Structure 1
């Protein structure tokens, strides 16, 4: 592989924020306050730091049995261009988008830290264009080669698959592909050798004219976009308390990934533990990992999208078919977890653990995320473990049924027994 020329980071003016503003509702009027139509309190908002909003966003991480923690995560409010059709006219407005990401580093935490510090800024500030995307593919073709020579030959078809269409409200398919490859190339150009997987969500009110109501409020319909690299996971709890995986992991066992890479490389193998590997990697897509980049370990994201939110509003707008499982909305929460969690608990176990902790102790998302990590430690997990929880409009309104309680009890007993024998 050729030496990749160093790139200078270009910092543009941005609106990246660590805070969210909540409209103040059901205000308890005091006798000496004027809350008339002209009152300054009528449109009052409460500004809260996202990482310090335990009732709406939970986050917890642990190195578990490892010497140090390579997991990282980020959460921000950003502004992105969204298409608005108003009285027959189409215009682009800068709209609030909530985003949170989870990163699972390997070979050190340089890559996961780099992504935590730069991913959201890159997505917000990049100018997605055909010329910019093609230029990136040419750099990969010229400086890395191998797998990217085949990708470069298919560049027109690839661009057509992610180019914003007339009916699209946003440009996130192109924006995310260009931002991810740009960030990956910048990281490689600094001769960094570590890598990281990533799962991100991008969530915004489907009405660009409404800058007051957020995704967790009643009456709101939101668009949810998930961008995926590797084996970190996004899981959503529906109104019936059932877990749904929102993404497909990029392992050598994946049919899509094996077809993508078998056309180019014969580097599939099985390790001494019976695990499928591509070269020496458990994941077939990641940021970084310079030694495998020419073989096809790519930072091209898989992108999926859904409609979530208030079921009545969704039905009125004929959007039920675009909801998760066709259930019509009213989802309870989203969970993002690293493989240190998913290797020890199924999606439904994770969801049930969160629900029961809230039911038994009125746990907030922050309390529940901490409980997930404590559970992984107690049952004998050995990898770094991170859990993020995003509250949605039906938080706490799920059925009381615990589908996996007995399984979790058995796992805990086995974990305690192993620890006592050490």
Structure 2
């Protein structure tokens, strides 16, 4: 049974899959107690925000007029001296400065150019198929608990507390904010990459919402053992998670078949007819939640494309908003994933989520944090080491030339061919993992994410870079990192990377770059030789690209 003919056999699956994301957004805002079905408890629907919330003093440019009226406030600018850690004022006045009133403000992440930068360019392609997303995701914290030294306030030993300006505002649940960044490189069109930009974070939020995942920082929670092999476990509905995994795996096997008949996601506890009993009862890792969300989103997108008729020109030409009710797209009766016509392309995707154990934001030099990377395809994520200045890749390209991917797919892929550029391809695809690509699902082109958790120490890394293959296919990892080192802000760094890539490339592919500031940003030039390691080669590449005698194709 092929994927395109499965609709006639499993009509119920299609109906539930096509409206999955719409139903989650509209209907799952309550929970019913199984013991007392008549009692319904309202649950707040998770929301994604493109801004972060932080504390700022009542006047961030001038001293607080309600603070101490000491003479040091009235000194002229020419008489001011740099702060050396020693204060001439009394401890009482210094304490008043620290305790001055602050205001909780919302700062749009895309406008916070000193914290985040994002740039995308079309290149010489007819359209830009790259998309990206950045914001605060509404899920429980998944960072490790802070050590006792961070939880014991200095106020127990001294009469001084930490300034409130150096921490972000907590969420409604009391957890620090979890930041979400994503880069999606579409091929064949923007339908799949736009779907991931708009909805992938909702799949992650709704999965955590459905299983009632609890924070890893929750007070009173039992301390769980941690080893190098075992991820950080969090409390949740283990039975519900097993049911969701079982239904998802069985749907893949029944509807798609082929590779998915022996489909065993590495982080799932369900691997057969019954769920494997986890080593820790009623506890779930965030890796398992993210893997489920990736595979669920891919299944819904593929199902929606297979349910369409690509030869129905009249249906394809109808407007997308034909079914809108009261001119509200969110109330559309039949939501169309990927447009009206069948979309046969797909998209790669890399997602980075950062969680902190304390309200201090992850870009603060004293803040530890946890980075969780979920990756599919050949988009790339790099870290810059503050100590050595080296580029540290945290993702690998899912290409047929990869030994791991080749061994995974040899039994299903009929042909591995090498194109004129020397790149190995499988059924015409350069990536062995991607979202969408409905015609290649049976041979194993899946959205199983490569998951990697990294504990970021205070100021251990300078910044995080996320790029599409239009940049990573042209520049070396160290060149990308060194370009960002020379920039004054992450926003300027993203612009410089995209501009240099489009200047020296021969292909002109879509180029997208995200730069996220980390605790060691101010020391980014101190490690190793700074940005000088690749400066000479970059200058030569620029001169060669601008040489009028250079033959361009």
Same fold (TM over 0.5): yes
Alpha-carbon distance in structure 2 between the residues aligned to 1:119 and 1:70: 17
Structure 1: gaps (5+ residues):
311-328
Residues 332-371 of structure 1 aligned to structure 2 (within 5 Å): 332-356=462-486, 358=487, 363-371=488-496
The equivalent residue for 1:308 is 456
The equivalent residue for 1:314 is none
Alpha-carbon distance in structure 1 between the residues aligned to 2:260 and 2:517: 40
SS in 1 for 2:522: coil
Residues 49-88 of structure 1 aligned to structure 2 (within 5 Å): 49-82=108-141
Quick check: 1:80–1:97 contact (8 Å CA) kept in 2? yes
Deviation at 1:170, TM superposition (A): 6.6
CA 1:39/1:163 → structure 2, altered by over 3 Å: closer, same or farther? farther
Residues 141-220 of structure 1 aligned to structure 2 (within 5 Å): 141-151=253-263, 158=271, 166=280, 171-191=285-305, 192-205=343-356, 207=357, 210=358, 212-220=359-367
Deviation at 1:94, TM superposition (A): 5.2
SS in 1 for 2:107: strand
CA 1:38/1:273 → structure 2, altered by over 3 Å: closer, same or farther? closer
Alpha-carbon distance in structure 2 between the residues aligned to 1:224 and 1:408: 30
- Deviation per residue, 1:241-283 (Å, 9 max, x gap): 1100011110111111111111333332212332101111000
SS in 2 for 1:396: helix
SS in 2 for 1:81: coil
Quick check: 1:101–1:198 contact (8 Å CA) kept in 2? yes
* Number of equivalenced pairs: 392
Higher strand share: 1
Task: Give yes or no for the alignment of 1:100 onto 2:204.
Answer: no
Alpha-carbon distance in structure 1 between the residues aligned to 2:366 and 2:245: 38
The equivalent residue for 2:382 is 235
140-149 vs 408-417, which moves further: 408-417
CA 1:243/1:232 → structure 2, altered by over 3 Å: closer, same or farther? same
403-412 vs 13-22, which moves further: 13-22
Alpha-carbon distance in structure 2 between the residues aligned to 1:414 and 1:162: 58
Deviation at 1:168, TM superposition (A): 12
CA 1:393/1:419 → structure 2, altered by over 3 Å: closer, same or farther? farther
Quick check: 1:72–1:102 contact (8 Å CA) kept in 2? yes
CA 1:269/1:170 → structure 2, altered by over 3 Å: closer, same or farther? same
Quick check: 1:163–1:173 contact (8 Å CA) kept in 2? no
The equivalent residue for 1:321 is none
Q: Among 114, 119, 139, which residue is 2:251 paired with?
A: 139
Alpha-carbon distance in structure 2 between the residues aligned to 1:116 and 1:108: 14
Alpha-carbon distance in structure 1 between the residues aligned to 2:145 and 2:416: 49
TM-score normalised per structure 1 = 0.84
Alpha-carbon distance in structure 1 between the residues aligned to 2:395 and 2:283: 21
- Deviation per residue, 1:155-198 (Å, 9 max, x gap): 76759999986499972211111101111111112213220001
Task: Give yes or no for the alignment of 1:296 onto 2:444.
Answer: yes
Quick check: 1:162–1:173 contact (8 Å CA) kept in 2? no
SS in 1 for 2:547: helix
Task: Give yes or no for the alignment of 1:395 onto 2:521.
Answer: yes
The equivalent residue for 1:222 is 369
Q: Among 109, 117, 125, which residue is 2:206 paired with?
A: 125
Alpha-carbon distance in structure 2 between the residues aligned to 1:101 and 1:153: 22
Alpha-carbon distance in structure 1 between the residues aligned to 2:533 and 2:278: 41
SS in 1 for 2:442: helix
RCO greater where, 1 or 2, for CA within 8 Å and sep 6 or more?
Answer: 1
Rg comparison, structure with higher value: 2
SS in 2 for 1:277: strand
Q: Among 372, 390, 409, which residue is 2:497 paired with?
A: 372
Deviation at 1:65, TM superposition (A): 1.0
Quick check: 1:349–1:408 contact (8 Å CA) kept in 2? yes
Task: Give yes or no for the alignment of 1:271 onto 2:419.
Answer: yes
Quick check: 1:226–1:304 contact (8 Å CA) kept in 2? yes
Quick check: 2:245–2:270 contact (8 Å CA) kept in 1? no
Quick check: 1:66–1:384 contact (8 Å CA) kept in 2? yes
Deviation at 1:291, TM superposition (A): 0.3
Deviation at 1:152, TM superposition (A): 6.0
Alpha-carbon distance in structure 1 between the residues aligned to 2:205 and 2:549: 46
Alpha-carbon distance in structure 2 between the residues aligned to 1:111 and 1:353: 31
Alpha-carbon distance in structure 2 between the residues aligned to 1:366 and 1:354: 9
The equivalent residue for 2:404 is 256
Alpha-carbon distance in structure 1 between the residues aligned to 2:292 and 2:390: 34
